[in-house]
Amino acid sequence: MNVLKVSKWTIAAFVLPALLLYACLVFVPIIVSLYSGLLDWNGIGTSKFVGLGNFTKLFFSDPVFWPSVRRTLVLALLSMGIQIPFALFVAILINRYIKRPNFLVSSYFLPVILSVVIIGQLWKTIYNPSAMGGMLNQILEGLQLQGWTRAWLTDPKVATYALYFVALWQYLGYHVLIQFTGIRNIPSEIYEAAKLDGAEGFKADYHITFPMIIPIFKISVVLAFIGSLQSFDLVMVMTAGGPAHATDVISTHMYHMSFLSLKYGYGSAIAAFLVVFCLLATLVINLMFNRIEKRYS
C-alpha cells in the first residue's frame, strides 16, 4: 500500500527529528529512572548501588505508599463505576429528548478544557470555611445544617472524597461528550428495525446501544484510568497530598520524595513503579475489552 520508494537518507530526514526528540525526552528518562531506582542517591555527591533495596522499602515498610496506590485505584474505580455509567445515562437521555443537544453537551464540557489550576483553586475557594467565604459551608449554614459543615480539605476524613468529587465533576462532561458522539454514530435504521420487533426505549438501549458503543466505552475507561493518574496535578494544587499524607496519590508521593525530600533514588523507584503500573493497567483493560467485544460480535 505504501508506494513511495525513497532512499534511506530521505526517510531519516523525515523521521529522525521527531524520533530523536521523542526518544531523548521520553524513553531515555524512563530508562534512567528505572536504573536510578536501584541507587541510594540524593542528587548531589556519589550514589550507592543498593539493588532492589528501594523497592523492598517501598513495598514493605513505607506507610504512605500502599494507601496512595489505593487512592489512585479508588478514583479510577469510582470513575468507571459511577461517572461513566452516569455519563452514558445522560447521553442517552440527551439523545432521546433534546432537540438541539449541541449547546447542552458543549456546556457540560466547559470544565474539561480549563486548567486544573483554575478548577483546583476554584474548588478550594468553594470548600473554604464559611468565615473565609466558602460557598459550600455557607449553603449548609443557610439550610440550617451547621452540623454538616466541615473543613473539607483539611479534615483527613473527608479531604480525599472532596478531591475525588472535583476530579469526577471536572471530567463528567468529557465522558458525556464521548458517549453522546458514540450514540449519534449508531445508524438510526437499527433502531427502526428494532421498533418493528417491539423493542423501544430502554429495551432498545439494552439490546442495541450498549453492545454498539462498547468500543467507545473502552475509550472512556482508558480515559478514566489516565484521568485518575492525572489527578496528580489537581491534588498538588488543592492539598499537595496533605493533611499528613491523607490525600497522597502515587505521583504526589513520588514528587515529594524526589523534589522535597531529595531522595532521588527512592523517588525514581516510585516513578518506575508508576510506569510499570500504567503499562500493566493498559494491557489489562485492553484484554478485558477484547474478551467483551468477542462475546458480543
Residue with smaller CB distance to another protein, 26 or 196: 26
Dihedral (Cα; 281, 284, 287, 291), 10-degree rounding? -120
Segment 134-193, which members bind another protein (CB under 8 A)? 135, 138-139, 141-142, 169, 172-174, 177-178, 181
Piece of 51-59, 190-198, 204-212, 278-286 that binds another protein (CB under 8 A)? 278-286
Segment 192-251, which members bind another protein (CB under 8 A)? 216, 219, 222-223, 229, 232-233, 236-237, 251
Piece of 54-62, 73-81, 191-199, 262-270 that binds another protein (CB under 8 A)? 262-270
Ramachandran assignment for 45, one of left (phi > 0), alpha (psi -120 to 50 degrees), beta (any other): left
Segment 44-73, which members bind another protein (CB under 8 A)? none
The correct pick among 110, 145, 284, 288 for binding another protein (CB under 8 A) is 110
Residue with smaller CB distance to another protein, 30 or 244: 30
Query: Minimum distance between the CB of residue 19 and another protein, rounded to whole angstroms?
Result: 6
104 near another protein, rule: CB under 8 A: yes
The correct pick among 64, 80, 126, 151 for binding another protein (CB under 8 A) is 126
Q: Where are the alpha helices (DSSP H) in 110-155?
A: 116-127, 135-142
Q: Please state, in angstroms and rounded to a whole number, the distance separating the CA atoms of residues 120 and 130.
A: 18
Piece of 55-63, 73-81, 95-103, 186-194 that binds another protein (CB under 8 A)? 95-103
Residue with smaller CB distance to another protein, 142 or 157: 142
Residue with smaller CB distance to another protein, 43 or 156: 43
Residue with cell string 508521593: 253
Question: What x-and-dash track marks residues 25-44 binding another protein by CB under 8 A?
Answer: xxxxxx-xx--x------x-
Residue 101's alpha-carbon distances to 91, 134, 205, 208, 212, in angstroms, are 10, 33, 19, 21, 21
Beta carbons of 150 and 158 less than 8 angstroms apart: yes
CA-based nearest residue to 119, from 72, 173, 69: 173
Beta carbons of 252 and 68 less than 8 angstroms apart: yes
Residue with smaller CB distance to another protein, 124 or 157: 124
Total binding residues for another protein by CB under 8 A?
96
Query: Minimum distance between the CB of residue 194 and another protein, rounded to whole angstroms?
Result: 19
Q: Please state, in angstroms and rounded to a whole number, the distance separating the CA atoms of residues 54 and 36.
A: 10
Residue 39's alpha-carbon distances to 33, 264, 265, in angstroms, are 10, 8, 5
How far does CA 108 lie from the centroid of its chain?
A: 18
Piece of 12-20, 49-57, 76-84, 202-210 that binds another protein (CB under 8 A)? 12-20
Residue with smaller CB distance to another protein, 59 or 169: 169
CA-based nearest residue to 171, from 95, 91, 93, 114: 114
Residue with smaller CB distance to another protein, 14 or 210: 14
The contacts of residue 32 (CB under 8 Å, 6+ apart) are: 268
